[in-house]
Structure 1
Amino acid sequence: MRNMLKHVALTSSALAFIMGAPAAARTLDPEKPEDALEIMKRTQCGTADGVPAVYHWSGRVYSRVQGEPDRLLFNGEGMNIRQCVRIEDPKRGVGYRQVSREVMFYLDPKTNEVLRTWDNPWTGETVKVMQIANDPVNSRPNYPYSADGKPYKISTLRRQGKWMFMPFEVPLFYHNVLAGDYQDYVGNKYHAMEIFDFAFLADEMLDTRNPTAYPTISWVRISDWMPWMKMRGRQGQMVFNAMGAKLKSYDELPKVIKDEIALNYPEYTAPPPGDDPRKNETTWTVFKKMIDAERAAEKEKK
């Protein structure tokens, strides 16, 4: 009986290997909608559906004010933890949904410690620093075909030797929750530009024997002042510039990030649930909720 079971086990293992061999040897073709979607999924997601993936970035934050030199305001350390889940549509095919939450901490550019307060050099006021902590930051479902049958394509993807590059520019211009109801007439809309540049080894990405890929990323954001800075409409912008990569585990994050998450953001050690129905948060929506709660608390005291 033992020998027979051993023979069955060996036969099953051999059969599994033979059946899996063609898929294991496949090379993704970016021109095929299903493969293009898989390339994007391998860029964004973990080693399997439901397995968390972590992106880390590190950089600097500058001011840009007309008529004066740019100033280094902060160092920055950030991370995004996400998971992807499989979704199906009878017309659009098999796709995925990505759910995530992210933090970025403003650090003193001299000591590299997380800042709790900041001395505003333009107003002379000391203000409380509100770190970037957005939960959730979820993406729309992605499929190999759109609702009208248009095939999925990564229009910016290009190959150069052993490398593949995938840049994205995201112009943002939308309703500012901190402004009034007449933004089309008097301004104050949220206006920013975010730039994401992914780079990865072609062999790692395209070979399906690898469960995922580990791209590097550069991130640039040009935006208005953060609301917690209390700039009172002062002319100027912020320029964020950072680089990083997708990590193989949460433990690879820098100590300063893990320590701050453990202290103040414990939920950021895991992504949201795959069926998370919440609306996305931004610094502006989070800040509004914080100010509204503080004002309500003050009102209760009176």
Structure 2
Amino acid sequence: MRHRRIEVANISRRGFSIGVSCGIAQFIASSGQARTAASINWDDPSERLHTMIRIMGRTDEGVAIRWIKGVLSGIVDQETTQLLGVSQQIFTRHQRKDDGSFDAVYLELVYFTDLETGKVLDKWNNPYTGRKVTVPAQVLGPTRIKIPMSLSVINEPYAMEGIKNKHWLEPLPIVGGDVAFNERIDSYVPPMTKGGAPLKFHEVFAFRAPFEMLADRSSSHVPATVDKVNVISWRPWMEMSEINGVSMSRGAGRVIVNYDELPMDLNRNNKEFYPDVVRDMDGYLKI
């Protein structure tokens, strides 16, 4: 196991970004899917939320993994420069309550990688400043949340004063037999150090799952894809607060329930950098 400086966030990224808001998701079925759609009552708030958790996670209290691989770019003077590879794994557990709502807990592992080799970086040459900076290993969370049938997300009290959040679900039409919806998150986090810059954050997760598989109510999870895009102010470790610009990440992946389904490089990195975290994931994800 390699020894690195590990940044364990007392305030996780999702802790920043998940707040109290209200979003009502309504799935629109075309006439071609009418027979399948009839098997699920979208007007029932409990059933609607239950179905969404089957796409985003699991309904049997087991661990699901949302993995995404992509590229982090910088945008300065309207020009985009690819900077780093970024891989994200969000480990989740959901527990249904008697009223149909869900309690949940999330834990994230994040790797920043070399664009050419895919190697996990602990140092990075910033092309904007010419400085070599330390890239922190990131274990974010665990973060505990509540998801009521209104589809709001409750994550209070916040870890610090001044945080502003908006978090909602955005329905999309059923296209080609798939159910699709966006999870959108807007956040503002005040400076965490004297003289530091605030963190402004916008992220979208786009989920897609086969409608016909959702009709099988015996399954606690259905195969799903997820795409992500976010726009975020410079991270403090990038040491570029004097540069006027933002970073943007774009990635794609899947929601899975089996560790063996992780891409080989993510499995390898987990064993090298976070073996204890992965080994005790059940302990971290206690609700």
* Partner secondary structure for residue 34 of structure 1: helix
- Per the alignment, residue 101 of structure 2 pairs with 95
How far off its partner does 1:157 sit?
4.6
- Per the alignment, residue 46 of structure 1 pairs with 58
Deviations 1:93-143 (A, max 9, x none): 232211120112111001111111001112221111113320213332423
- Between Structure 1 and Structure 2, the one with more strand by share is 2
Q: Which runs of 5+ in 1 are unaligned?
A: 1-25, 147-152, 276-302
One-letter amino acid of the counterpart of residue 68, structure 2: W
Distance (Å, rounded) in 1 between the aligned partners of 2:123 and 2:170: 43
2:203 pairs with 1:197: no
Contact 2:49 2:151 in 1 (8 A): no
- Per the alignment, residue 150 of structure 1 pairs with none
Contact 1:78 1:257 in 2 (8 A): no
2:228 pairs with 1:219: yes
The aligned length equals: 232
* Partner secondary structure for residue 274 of structure 1: coil
Identify the range of structure 1 (250-259 vs 263-272) with the bigger mean alpha-carbon deviation.
263-272
TM-score by length of 1: 0.70
2:44 pairs with 1:72: no
- CA, structure 1 residues 39+47, in 2 after alignment: closer, same or farther (shift >3 Å)? closer
Larger Cα-atom Rg: 1
One-letter amino acid of the counterpart of residue 63, structure 2: P
How far off its partner does 1:264 sit?
2.4
- Per the alignment, residue 107 of structure 1 pairs with 113
TM-score by length of 2: 0.73
- Per the alignment, residue 237 of structure 2 pairs with 228
- Between Structure 1 and Structure 2, the one with more helix by share is 1
One-letter amino acid of the counterpart of residue 215, structure 1: A
* Partner secondary structure for residue 51 of structure 2: helix
Distance (Å, rounded) in 2 between the aligned partners of 1:197 and 1:47: 20
- CA, structure 1 residues 225+208, in 2 after alignment: closer, same or farther (shift >3 Å)? same
- Per the alignment, residue 22 of structure 1 pairs with none
Runs of 4+ in 1 over 6 A off after TM superposition: none
How far off its partner does 1:197 sit?
0.7
Distance (Å, rounded) in 2 between the aligned partners of 1:86 and 1:34: 10
2:45 pairs with 1:36: no
Deviations 1:216-242 (A, max 9, x none): 111111001111111133211111000
